[in-house]
């Protein structure tokens, strides 16, 4: 089987999603050839030689997968997809925009045999849409490190995240933070009550991004990890949820209906803040709840890997061929 994987142009979270798919497909013994295409080059795949032009393909692939989210891959729009037996579009996170919906409408309607979306609430927007949750990269595991910070968070800021994290900050006086991501405004936090270490992340295409390994390394240095989704209507969790399950680290998040039951969730920032404070103070009930969450998550983590998603995708495409 020959597979063509089209990466997004910009190395942000969607790039890590594409990287997880790349590694899972490459490890599949049924795949004889895997070709990656990216107009900027594949920043984190040194062993592969990416193409920058779909017209340079030597032969037709059996399956073409286009991974894209907010950043639409210009190559697939400009040149169209090669004449493969099957094709796929994947969105990178459960925050689908109008641009994402438009990519599978109008002149692009029916371009794909199957459209996999990460949020169950958006399946109806797409022709041939199916729900396929986010996943974890099983090739990445965090190192065993002594915690350096009390609380960790990775992600871009928005009003909801600012509100939730500032509430937790006020509830945990003296706690140290590892806050990673662009556009954060720590001036909205009570700096007298905690020490917030802000790790800057550049998102420019030439400057790099946080790789899956870097995220895992940061998480491993935190006593507890937070996952708060950006504002908006959605049913399904983002990739950080599945990272937490796979890494076996203490993580809590805001509520999303499709979240695996092992994950500790909260409906409001005050409840999460109280839990985080008591956990950091060593409350036995909170510690047990997170330990049980970690144990249950590790038991099911193989169900939420890119390898599992790739196997499901192959099966679905075979049914439609």
Digit-coded pLDDT (tens) for 17-72: 888 898 999 999 999 988 887 755 444 444 445 565 666 677 788 888 888 765 55
Task: For Cα atoms 196, 144, 242, give the angle at the middle one, nearest 5 degrees.
Answer: 75
pLDDT 10s per residue in the chain (321 long)? 999 888 776 656 777 888 889 899 999 999 998 888 775 544 444 444 556 566 667 778 888 888 876 555 555 555 556 666 666 666 655 555 565 666 666 666 677 788 888 889 888 877 788 899 999 999 998 888 889 899 999 888 888 998 999 899 889 988 888 888 776 665 555 554 445 555 544 444 444 467 788 889 989 999 999 999 988 778 999 989 999 999 999 999 999 999 999 999 999 999 999 999 999 999 999 999 999 999 999 999 999 999 999 999 999 888 876
Half-sphere exposure at residue 152, Cβ-oriented, CA atoms within 13 angstroms: 21
Contact assessment for residue 243 and residue 255, using Cβ atoms and an 8 Å cutoff: no
Q: Give the whole-angstrom CA distance, residue 139 versus residue 142.
A: 10
Contact assessment for residue 173 and residue 280, using Cβ atoms and an 8 Å cutoff: no
Q: What are 241's two structure tokens?
A: 């949820």
pTM of the model: 0.87
Q: Give the whole-angstrom CA distance, residue 72 versus residue 113.
A: 18
Contact assessment for residue 297 and residue 262, using Cβ atoms and an 8 Å cutoff: yes
Q: Give the whole-angstrom CA distance, residue 305 versus residue 299.
A: 13
Q: What is the topology classification, in CATH, of domain 2-135+305-320?
A: Rossmann fold (3.40.50)
Contact assessment for residue 99 and residue 79, using Cβ atoms and an 8 Å cutoff: no
Q: 149-303 architecture in CATH?
A: 3-Layer(aba) Sandwich (3.40)
Find the radius of gyration of the CA atoms of the chain.
Answer: 20
Q: Give the whole-angstrom CA distance, residue 172 versus residue 191.
A: 12
- Among the residues of 80-190, which ranges form H helices? 98-102, 159-171
Q: What is the pLDDT of residue 205?
A: 40
Contact assessment for residue 11 and residue 70, using Cβ atoms and an 8 Å cutoff: no
Q: Burial of 37 by CB count in 10 Å (0-12 exposed, 13-18 middle, 19+ buried)? A: buried
For the chain, give every residue range classified as CATH 3.40.50.2000. 2-135+305-320, 149-303
Q: What are 6's two structure tokens?
A: 């089209």
Q: Give the whole-angstrom CA distance, residue 201 versus residue 181.
A: 5
Long-range contacts made by residues 193-199, C-beta under 8 angstroms, separation at least 24? 193/169, 194/169, 196/169, 197/149
Estimate to the nearest angstrom the gap between the alpha carbon of 28 and the chain centroid: 21
Mean pLDDT, the chain, rounded, equals: 80
Q: What is the pLDDT of residue 188?
A: 53
Q: Give the whole-angstrom CA distance, residue 171 versus residue 165.
A: 10
Look at the block and give the residue holding tokens 């420019």.
204
Can you state the angle between helices 284-300 and 269-280, rounded to 10 degrees?
Answer: 100
Q: Give the whole-angstrom CA distance, residue 234 versus residue 95.
A: 7
Q: What is the pLDDT of residue 109?
A: 67
Q: What is the pLDDT of residue 202?
A: 44
Q: What is the pLDDT of residue 143?
A: 86
Tell me which residue of 24, 8, 27, 123 sits closest to 69, measured CA to CA. Answer: 8
Number of C-beta neighbours around residue 292 at 10 A: 12
Tell me which residue of 74, 100, 71 sits closest to 232, measured CA to CA. Answer: 100
């Amino acid at each position: 089987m020959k597979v063509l994987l089209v990466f997004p142009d910009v190395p942000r979270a969607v790039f890590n999603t594409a990287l997880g798919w790349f590694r899972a497909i490459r490890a599949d013994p049924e795949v004889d050839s895997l070709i990656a295409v990216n107009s900027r080059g594949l920043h984190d795949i040194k062993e592969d030689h990416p193409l920058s032009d779909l017209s340079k393909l030597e032969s037709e692939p059996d399956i073409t997968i286009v991974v894209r989210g907010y950043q639409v891959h210009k190559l697939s729009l400009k040149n169209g997809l090669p004449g493969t037996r099957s094709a796929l579009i994947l969105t990178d996170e459960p925050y689908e925009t109008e641009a994402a919906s438009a990519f599978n409408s109008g002149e692009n309607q029916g371009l794909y045999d199957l459209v996999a979306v990460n949020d169950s609430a958006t399946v109806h927007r797409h022709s041939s849409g199916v729900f396929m949750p986010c996943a974890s990269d099983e090739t990445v595991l965090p190192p065993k490190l002594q915690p350096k910070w009390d609380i960790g968070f990775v992600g871009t800021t928005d009003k909801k995240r600012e509100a939730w994290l500032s509430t937790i900050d006020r509830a945990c006086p003296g706690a140290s933070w590892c806050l990673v991501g662009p556009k954060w405004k720590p001036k909205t936090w009570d700096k007298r009550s905690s020490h917030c270490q802000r790790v800057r992340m550049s998102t420019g295409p030439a400057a790099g991004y946080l790789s899956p390994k870097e995220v895992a390394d940061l998480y491993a240095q935190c006593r507890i990890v937070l996952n708060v989704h950006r504002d908006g209507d959605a049913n399904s969790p983002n990739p950080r949820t599945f990272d937490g399950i796979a890494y076996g680290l203490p993580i809590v998040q805001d509520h999303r209906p499709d979240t695996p039951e092992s994950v500790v969730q909260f409906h409001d920032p005050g409840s999460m803040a109280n839990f985080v404070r008591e956990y950091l103070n060593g409350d036995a009930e909170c510690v047990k709840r997170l330990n049980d969450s970690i144990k249950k998550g590790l038991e099911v983590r193989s169900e939420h890997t890119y390898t599992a998603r790739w196997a499901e995708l192959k099966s679905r495409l075979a049914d439609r061929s």
